[in-house]
Every structure is written in structure tokens, then in C-alpha cells.
């Protein structure tokens, strides 16, 4: 008898699992998540598409405001960590104007600047960092890499230009540890990732450029054009390749709290519908 009951229960569970389409299963899952943050009619959420879309938007507003609060709560702690950098010694620059004025060589992946080594500078920028699961070194972006990628996919702005200074490195382990106070140890899209909420240029970056010469395979990795040119001239050997690149090293970061009204948050989410639909994966 017990065996029969067990088989019957398994049969009912099987029927229950087979009864819903993939779309309904997703809706049930999302509506249950919405109910954790909002007061809703779950059944109506599942059955009424317009209501479901309204709740999706409202839930994204809630999650964005939550992330803003979490970010702002960490700003004071982050800025209070003193790693011995004398901020008054750094000159404030508009980094894009500076690079356009001073660069002597630039392409998609590298820049080279004369007479800039170890000069202490600071600039205001967006700040994003990620670390692939198999890597130990952070990749630092001074622009909204994820947002730019979405814009290219949607073809919203065909003339969208990435900044001349796109990447940076932590100068030492102290600044890396300071940065890690911002992380929440979540894994997102295959990597540990941090980005400033709502894509604001909300960081002041302190640091310096260092001109580094690369040869052989290291040079080829820095500039793929070297490989292309080598293929055009088969007499060139990979070990003979050489390139000098100006690389930026971060000595400190300061953050500002973000003050947005709810109306501004709602407008940003409406203007970035695709990014907002992926927000749940970013929190």
C-alpha cells in the first residue's frame, strides 16, 4: 500500500511538472521573486502579461534603489581606508582631453605618451572591475564596458566611442584590498564583478603612467596588428616583435555617494530596458 502511495505521489508530481510550459515556469519563478519585494497578486502576475510587465519594471526599480543604498553604505568605509597616498600631490586632469593632446601613438588597444612616466595625476571616471574564474588578476575598466556592449548589440549608437584610456592596473596589494571591501563575493556571468550603480562617473582615480617595452609574444598580445604586419612580411620573426605602451597604475580610488530621486531612477530604467531586464543577474 505504501509503495502504491509513493508511486501515486511521484505520478502527481510528474503531471504537475509537465503541466506548465517553460514560459509559465519562468513567470511563476519571477512572480514569486517579485512577491519578496512587492505586495502583489501572484496569480494575476502569472496570468496577466501587462501586470507581469508592470511588476517587472517595479521590481527593477526596487532592486536598483536597494543596490544604490548598499553602494552608499560602503562609500564611507571605503574612503576611510588610508593606504598612505598623499592626494594633494596629484594633479586633476580631464583624462580624455589630456590623452588627445599628448598622445603620439594610439590605436584600439594601446597608447604611448612622451614625458609622462610616474607623474602623479587624478581624474574623474566610471570604474568597473572583473576577474574571470580562472584568473588571479583583476581587469579594470574606466568606462561602462557592459553598457557599451549592450548599446552595440542594440545598435543604439553607431558612433559610440570608447575612451582612449580604457584599462588600468592596481599599483600594489593595498589598493587591491581596499577595492575588495566593495565586493560581495557573488559570481556574475562567470566572473567576480563590480561596477558603479547606474553608470555614473563617480570615482576619482589616482595614479601614474609607466612606459613598458614588450617583446616577442608579449608584444603580440598587446598589439594584434604586429601579428597582422608580420604575416604580411614573413621575414619578421615573432621574437623580434617589439612595442612600448603607456600603462596606467592605480594608487588610490575615492568614491562619491550617489544621490538620485526615485523619478530619476525610474527614467534610467526605462531608458535602459535591456540592461534593466538583466539587472537580476547583476544583484
pLDDT (tens, 9 = 90+) of the chain, 283 residues, equals: 444 454 544 444 454 545 567 778 888 889 999 999 999 998 999 999 999 999 999 999 998 899 899 899 999 999 999 999 999 999 999 998 888 887 766 555 567 777 777 889 999 999 988 887 777 888 899 988 777 776 666 666 666 677 888 889 999 999 999 999 888 655 455 567 888 888 788 999 999 998 877 777 666 665 555 444 544 455 566 776 777 778 899 999 999 999 888 898 898 888 776 555 544 444 4
pLDDT of residue 81: 95
Q: Report the sign of the C-alpha dihedral through residues 16, 22, 28, 32, in that order.
A: positive
Counting beta carbons within 10 angstroms of the beta carbon of residue 74, is it exposed (0 to 12), middle (13 to 18) or buried (19 or more)?
middle
The C-alpha cell at 184 is 560581495
In whole angstroms, what is the distance from residue 92 CA to residue 269 CA? 32
In whole angstroms, what is the distance from residue 184 CA to residue 150 CA? 24
- If one counts every other C-beta atom within 10 angstroms of the C-beta of residue 271, the result is 10
Residue 134 DSSP symbol: T
Full 3-state SS string of 171-234: CCHHHHHHHHCCCCCCCECCEEEEECHHHCCCEEEEEEEEEEEEEHHHHHHHCHHHHHHHHHCC
Reported as type and span, the H/E element at residue 139 is: strand 139-141
pLDDT of residue 23: 79
What is the crossing angle of helices 262-271 and 49-80, to 10°?
120
Q: How far is CA 24 from the centre of its chain?
A: 31
Q: Tell me how long the chain is.
A: 283
pLDDT of residue 168: 92
- What's this model's pTM, rounded to 2 decimal places? 0.74
pLDDT of residue 1: 47
pLDDT of residue 280: 43
In the β-sheet with 203-215, what is the strand arrangement from edge to edge? 91-92, 121-125, 203-215, 242-255, 167-170, 139-141, 128-132, 191-195
Cβ atoms of 123 and 204 closer than 8 Å: yes
Residue 250 DSSP symbol: E
pLDDT of residue 273: 63
The C-alpha cell at 109 is 588597444
pLDDT of residue 230: 47
**Could you give the 3-state DSSP secondary structure of residue 41?**
coil
Cβ atoms of 120 and 90 closer than 8 Å: yes
Q: How far is CA 144 from the centre of its chain?
A: 6
Amino acid at each position: 500500500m505504501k509503495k502504491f502511495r509513493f508511486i501515486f505521489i511521484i505520478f502527481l508530481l510528474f503531471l504537475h511538472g509537465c503541466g506548465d510550459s517553460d514560459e509559465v515556469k519562468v513567470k511563476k519563478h519571477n512572480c514569486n521573486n517579485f512577491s519578496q519585494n512587492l505586495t502583489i497578486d501572484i496569480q494575476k502576475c502569472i496570468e496577466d502579461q501587462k501586470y507581469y510587465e508592470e511588476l517587472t519594471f517595479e521590481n527593477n526599480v526596487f532592486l536598483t534603489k536597494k543596490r544604490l543604498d548598499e553602494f552608499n553604505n560602503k562609500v564611507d568605509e571605503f574612503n576611510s581606508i588610508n593606504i598612505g597616498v598623499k592626494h594633494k600631490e596629484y594633479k586633476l586632469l580631464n583624462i580624455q582631453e589630456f590623452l588627445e593632446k599628448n598622445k603620439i601613438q594610439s590605436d584600439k588597444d594601446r597608447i604611448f605618451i612622451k614625458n609622462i612616466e610616474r607623474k602623479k595625476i587624478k581624474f574623474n571616471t566610471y570604474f568597473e572591475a572583473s576577474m574571470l574564474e580562472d584568473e588571479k588578476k583583476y581587469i579594470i575598466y574606466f568606462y561602462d564596458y557592459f553598457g557599451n556592449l549592450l548599446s552595440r548589440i542594440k545598435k543604439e549608437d553607431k558612433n559610440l566611442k570608447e575612451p582612449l584610456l580604457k584599462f588600468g592596473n592596481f599599483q600594489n596589494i593595498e589598493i587591491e584590498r581596499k577595492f575588495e571591501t566593495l565586493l560581495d563575493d557573488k559570481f556574475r556571468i562567470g566572473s567576480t564583478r563590480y561596477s558603479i550603480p547606474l553608470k555614473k562617473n563617480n570615482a576619482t582615480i589616482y595614479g601614474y603612467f609607466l612606459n613598458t617595452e614588450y617583446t616577442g609574444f608579449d608584444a603580440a598580445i598587446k598589439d594584434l596588428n604586429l601579428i597582422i604586419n608580420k604575416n604580411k612580411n614573413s621575414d619578421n620573426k615573432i621574437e623580434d616583435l617589439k612595442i612600448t605602451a603607456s600603462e596606467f597604475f592605480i594608487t588610490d580610488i575615492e568614491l562619491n555617494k550617489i544621490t538620485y530621486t526615485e523619478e530619476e531612477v525610474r527614467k534610467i530604467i526605462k531608458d535602459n530596458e535591456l540592461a534593466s531586464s538583466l539587472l537580476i543577474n547583476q544583484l
